[in-house]
Structure 1
Amino acid sequence: MAIILNIQVYLCMFFAFLHTEGTRNSNDNVKTIQNFLSHPGWNNINDVELIKYRNNQHKLKDLIVIPVTMLNCDNCIQQIMLFLGCSYANDLDLINYSLNKFQQHCFELLDSSYVRAHHCTITLLTKMIEIIPIAKCMRGALDAIKKYHTAIRSSVKRKRFILSRLLTNLQEEEILLTRLSTSLLPIKDVLGSINQILLSRSNEFKKDKSFCELKQLNFDSLWQIWNTEFNTPIVQRKFQELFIFLSDKISNFILTTITKKYFELGFIFDSNTSQTFLSVKPSTSDNHDIAQNHSTNFTQNTNYVNTQEAIQKNDIITYPSIQHTNNVEIQEDIRQENNNCEVNDDSDVLIHYPKGHEPFNKYLN
């Protein structure tokens, strides 16, 4: 009987040991994680004050300076994922806020011009689809870090990882957004669907941000700054339409995010497999230059651009006369709106839809 009890005690101790953060990692993994954290980009993540992990609060600067060992490697990996996930969540939340303001602007245009509202909505949908490749990279980055964690147990697999659900949902929305871009629904309904998507994302951000204490960033103040900037005569002449200005702002922010929080952190993107890996070499000035080049090549040669081209090809096949592939053409279409209405007066044969309920594809012909 005593032997059986001793065996049970030993088993309990063994499983308790497995569920602690004291699990030893391999020396190769330790070197990789240490080299990974040596990239200077980690010193530039300044939007996360601290993370909450295992009932304790941790700061990123402490994680960077503490040597990685075989005993604390798994613990470091968990903290890295939380810090990076919190920073990604903050960036995606800001983009989501900008898209929400974008959607409101498109909706307001319905009162003055269906053509402008349509072009605004097309531009908004294109911008939302642009985010999907970035979401894939973020997911790939977090998964690449997680692969070096040794404790792969069923309890860990069931645990919610930061951004896991949101990034999955973002990728699954690609089909829906593409369908909306060629939808027969009224413009108002398309914008309503977009609003529901953005609202769902916002709710997920709140859950993920519960792991983080972020530096306070007033999104409303940023929106006021953008409005002030757009209303200057020089900027207004350049962009002419607020939604084109917003599209440009969001594109620049996406490029900055992928540069600063992907390539400069030591992630490597394999364009052949669309997979992300950690750099196993220590950071050098040469690596930094390579990161800059990778960032440029990524935005030019990956599905970031291919996604937009696929949408445009689909639109052209479905509606041969569609020409909304660049901002210049969009603005030219808008400038010609009144003239077209005067010259092509088909009021006798056109169906008159209630205000706000005209089909989304009306101006695709």
Structure 2
Amino acid sequence: MFSLKLVKFSFLLFYVILQTKSDSLLRKKLNKIDKLLTYPGWKNLNDVNSIEYSNRKYCLKRLIETPTYKSKCEQKVRGLTIYLGCTYAKVMNNLFSIIINCLQTSRKKSNQENGKIKGCICIEELINIVATLIIPIATLMKGAIDALDLLHRLPWANFKRAYRRPYILSPLLDRIGNIIDQLNDPIVPCDDKSIKSSSFDIVYSFSYCMIGNLKYEINRYCDIKPYDEDYLWNEWIQEYKALFRHGVRLVFFKFLTKKIKDYIKTVIKEKYFQLGFKFNPIIENTFIPTPEEIIDLDLEFNNR
């Protein structure tokens, strides 16, 4: 009889310990979410009107202002993850729209006299832009989405693909690095084949496919504020022409690289660090700091 009571007491004690530990972990998670949403960048996100998930519509203002109750925690994490994915989808759509416009420009150059070499130089510059600018920002974006997702009790990232909902944007961002693997295959020298083959086709097909996939993601979840997809390209072209008219002679792709670099720096600052995400350069991983950690946003940004 005594041993039976001891067993019951042991089970009860074990249950209390587990429940206490679970409550403690949940409280830490709730505090982490609340702390994250105090960063100024969240209130400045304005590309998306609302998102829809599981037949429910969410707007960012409501997600931010609603207290993170225990019963609403999972719902809030899903809403924020999808909203961030929609925001990043627009950024990547902007970047690949610029790549498409550049490729079309390089194709025109290749059809002109002495255009093959110029066209090939354009492709080489574009490959460099993708490798050194677009892939790194895609890595940061994927890290931020994954870090938010991990706050959920059942993270999408832990589900087998066949049994889960589409994981908003994260797998797509992961695929962006694949283009470099394709381009690392031996490339035919510029003076042997026209710009229409080889690397041109790879970059063009990949970019066109990415835009299609991004639009699918956006249409599935996101109510994006209407905008001209070529607004950045048109704005930069007008700026370049204005500089040219005033006697400033710049190589177009050097000008373009600088504009893309400036745009990406702004995105990283306003839509990554100012949202409270932190990057660990040692393990190349994004994480959400604990409420006790103090982050100097300017220092974090300048170290990138």
What TM-score do you get using the length of structure 1 for normalisation? 0.69
Q: Is the 8 A contact 2:94 2:232 kept in 1?
A: no
1:197 aligned partner, one-letter code = F
State, as a whole percentage, how many aligned pairs show the same letter: 27
Q: Distance in 2 between matches of 1:51 and 1:36?
A: 20
1:164 aligns with 2:173: no
Q: Distance in 2 between matches of 1:46 and 1:230?
A: 28
How far apart are residue 78 of structure 1 and its match?
Answer: 0.3
1:118 aligns with 2:120: yes
Residue 152 of structure 2: aligned partner = 149
2:289 aligned partner, one-letter code = S
Match of 1:194 among 189, 203, 214: 203
1:134-187 alpha-carbon deviations (Å, 9 max, x no partner): 11111111111111111358588622111023112112222223447x544732
Residue 17 of structure 2: aligned partner = none
Q: Mean Cα displacement is larger for which, 155-164 or 231-240? A: 231-240
1:253 aligns with 2:259: no
C-alpha change, 1:140 and 1:224, in structure 2 (3 Å) is closer
1:32-79 alpha-carbon deviations (Å, 9 max, x no partner): 011011111101110011000221211101111111121111111101
Q: Is the 8 A contact 2:32 2:290 kept in 1?
A: yes
How far apart are residue 245 of structure 1 and its match?
Answer: 2.0
Residue 218 of structure 1: aligned partner = 228
1:80 aligned partner, one-letter code = L
Q: Distance in 2 between matches of 1:120 and 1:128?
A: 12
C-alpha change, 1:131 and 1:67, in structure 2 (3 Å) is same
Q: Secondary structure of the residue that 1:232 maps to in structure 2?
A: helix
Q: Is the 8 A contact 2:94 2:230 kept in 1?
A: no
Q: Is the 8 A contact 1:229 1:235 kept in 2?
A: no
1:209 aligns with 2:218: yes
Residue 108 of structure 1: aligned partner = 108
1:92 aligned partner, one-letter code = M
Q: Secondary structure of the residue that 1:85 maps to in structure 2?
A: helix
How far apart are residue 215 of structure 1 and its match?
Answer: 0.9
Which stretches in structure 1 are left out of the alignment for 5+ residues? 1-23, 299-365
How far apart are residue 293 of structure 1 and its match?
Answer: 2.2
1:200 aligned partner, one-letter code = C
Residue 296 of structure 1: aligned partner = 302
How far apart are residue 233 of structure 1 and its match?
Answer: 3.7
Which stretches in structure 2 are left out of the alignment for 5+ residues? 1-23
2:127 aligned partner, one-letter code = L
1:144 aligned partner, one-letter code = A
1:127 aligned partner, one-letter code = I
Q: Is the 8 A contact 1:269 1:276 kept in 2?
A: yes
Q: Secondary structure of the residue that 1:219 maps to in structure 2?
A: coil
What TM-score do you get using the length of structure 2 for normalisation? 0.82
Q: Is the 8 A contact 1:93 1:202 kept in 2?
A: yes
Q: Secondary structure of the residue that 2:50 maps to in structure 1?
A: strand
Q: Is the 8 A contact 2:138 2:176 kept in 1?
A: yes
How far apart are residue 93 of structure 1 and its match?
Answer: 0.1
Q: Is the 8 A contact 1:37 1:64 kept in 2?
A: yes
Q: Is the 8 A contact 1:25 1:74 kept in 2?
A: no
Q: Distance in 2 between matches of 1:198 and 1:40?
A: 32
User: Over aligned residue pairs, what C-alpha RMSD do you find?
Assistant: 2.5
C-alpha change, 1:282 and 1:56, in structure 2 (3 Å) is farther
Q: Distance in 2 between matches of 1:91 and 1:235?
A: 30
Q: Distance in 2 between matches of 1:103 and 1:177?
A: 15
Q: Is the 8 A contact 2:138 2:173 kept in 1?
A: yes
